[in-house]
A and B are shown apart, each in its own frame.
Chain A
């Protein structure tokens, strides 16, 4: 591996992805442009070794598209992805195979991500066999070792997924991802479908794995409490862009983007009282028609004139904490003070 000491494990620069929907024949004859859905629009992030980066946002904010673009399940339209200094997007077929081995995705729904006809043993050892990491003899050692890692009894090895509970299936999916000894795990809503008591078991498992194996992890979730628990750094996404990023405690305790603040206020907890009025009115705009200027301006309470004309640049509000907002209000315990200058 040619990566230098200081360089990040994964570096995403200016990633953009558009989807085009089909026109009717009539519309194409009339020269109407093909409708363009902006899924990602200039997303940049870095991931270091031993670090968990949380990605949060509402549905349609581009979290999953980011994950899929990083491993090239979607071909991004713009930008670059560097994995240990290697360019993922220009990698050839052989190279991308190697890269994908080291970056593994885990999906939300363990009911559909596992083949119902494969036993647990076959499901876990299949990727390693495909990549020729084990021979037939080494297979059961590998399966046993991985089952142990994810705290499943060895006896499940010969069961099929339908005999397992949701939590157990997700453990199998994790074991399968670990079978290739990846350096990066991208967990796309991996705990969202699970009940609270099982979710806690899984979060502890993810935490252990990252510490024990020194993995870098991108953890995608829509639940803020999950992100608060598991990630050291967080990126808040809205309509295909990152709007705020930084160390998780810093962003959650001292948010400097109105959207982050609204998400935090809307999150129901046992301790807090329900707000009298909703934290945020309106809905996320259509990705076919991104608003001009700041893309949050349709729902923001703090808009100024320039919010409707200029795209906000990132501002470093404290070390490593960036917000893409012109106004940069300061929020503390529900009180809002506007920063001057």
Chain B
């Protein structure tokens, strides 16, 4: 991991300006006997080089599905039904399985919330790291072994040589997540997709893992999409924040801008609902968002947040505003929050 991105890739022949990943109008649908729902609805964003995009939202808002759809990993019966996923000038949606396989785990890696279920319990940690190195990077057995030791050392696992023989159940949750990260960064990916990587971990271990990821990003210039329900985690690790609600991307912008001056009532509600540790002892009641998140199979008319929104007006029942692309710095789907339209 010492040298920066020097991996030769056939895809690397694009102009330096264009973002690594550009997603436009990505729509993911799930259909079953009971009906049809859209888990992600015309989601657009882009990730430049050396950049971290944080995606926040509550359970069922479509943040994980969006992330998985990038690599064609939407679970059955889900399907990407519209949109484009431009990765360095090529649309990942049009690639064959084989071509996608070449990018997956090599140029784009992914880590998940639960490292226990992502590691194979019957293979040693060493087998699982070297498998990756031998398959994707075609290393020899010996070379892969040496590299695996280096990688475990890099992710902060003490006495890495001995640990290679361990099986996942012999490691703690934090150590397993480190192994997952070692596998993910083995091929020096340009983009890491992290789906709630620290949600199952204790706060001090979460802190260690996030510091490790930040170090690796600094060394390699790797970009990251960090999906989390924890606004604090995203605030401290992302350059840009996207907020999702009921399958829609409702607000997007520079992390500081969005989290300190939200322009969508949902983002504002979310921020107000979080208990603040620095307000200890003040005992003010929290300001929750009223009501429940909507059922995706039966979304309300117009803006999906309209039934819970304190700024609602008659236009919200009919039209859903587009995310303002005129303001790349900070866009929101809600034009009414500043009190202008209301």
Q: Do they bind each other?
A: yes
Q: Which residues of A are at the interface with B, using a C-beta cutoff of 8 A? A: 58-59, 165, 167-168, 195-201, 203-204, 207, 222-226, 228-230, 247-249, 252-253, 262-281, 283-284
Specify which chain A residues have a CB less than 8 angstroms from the CB of B204 in the assembled complex: 58, 262-263, 266, 278-280
Q: Is the C-beta of B236 less than 8 angstroms from some C-beta in chain A?
A: yes
Q: Which of B5-13, B78-86, B265-273 contacts A (4 or more CB under 8 A)?
A: B265-273
Would A197 and B58 count as touching, CB distance under 8 A? yes
Would B276 and A204 count as touching, CB distance under 8 A? no
Q: Is the C-beta of B293 less than 8 angstroms from some C-beta in chain A?
A: yes
> With A278-B207, A283-B174 known to touch, is A196 a contact of B292 (CB < 8 Å)?
no
Would B205 and A228 count as touching, CB distance under 8 A? no
Tell me the interface secondary structure of chain B in the complex: helix
Question: Digit string of B8-39 for contact with A (CB within 8 Å is 1, else 0)?
Answer: 00000000000000000000000000000000
| Cα A198 to Cα B271 with chains together (Å) | 13
Q: Is the C-beta of B202 less than 8 angstroms from some C-beta in chain A?
A: yes
By CB atoms of chain A within 10 A, which of B236, B237, B271, B277 has the most? B277
| Cα A223 to Cα B204 with chains together (Å) | 11
Would B288 and A273 count as touching, CB distance under 8 A? no
> With A165-B292, A196-B273, A229-B275 known to touch, is A274 a contact of B210 (CB < 8 Å)?
yes
| Cα A136 to Cα B293 with chains together (Å) | 36
Rounded to whole Å, the gap between the CB of B29 and the closest CB of chain A is: 23
Specify which chain B residues have a CB less than 8 angstroms from the CB of A262 in the assembled complex: 204
Would A196 and B58 count as touching, CB distance under 8 A? yes
| Cα A199 to Cα B231 with chains together (Å) | 14
User: Which of B172, B205, B211, B280 contacts A277 (CB under 8 A)?
Assistant: B211
User: Which of B211, B278, B283 contacts A271 (CB under 8 A)?
Assistant: B278
Would A270 and B208 count as touching, CB distance under 8 A? no
> With A204-B285, A252-B277 known to touch, is A58 a contact of B232 (CB < 8 Å)?
no
User: Which of A168, A264, A270 contacts B235 (CB under 8 A)?
Assistant: A270
> With A277-B211, A281-B208 known to touch, is A197 a contact of B273 (CB < 8 Å)?
yes
| Cα A203 to Cα B287 with chains together (Å) | 10
Rounded to whole Å, the gap between the CB of B259 and the closest CB of chain A is: 5
In chain A, what residue has the closest Cβ to B270?
Answer: A196
Would A272 and B236 count as touching, CB distance under 8 A? yes
| Cα A199 to Cα B270 with chains together (Å) | 11
Q: Can you add 20 more A-B contacts, CB < 8 Å, to A195-B293, A197-B293, A270-B274?
A: A195-B59, A196-B229, A196-B231, A197-B289, A200-B288, A200-B289, A203-B275, A204-B286, A223-B203, A224-B203, A229-B276, A264-B277, A268-B235, A269-B278, A273-B236, A274-B211, A274-B237, A276-B211, A280-B208, A283-B175
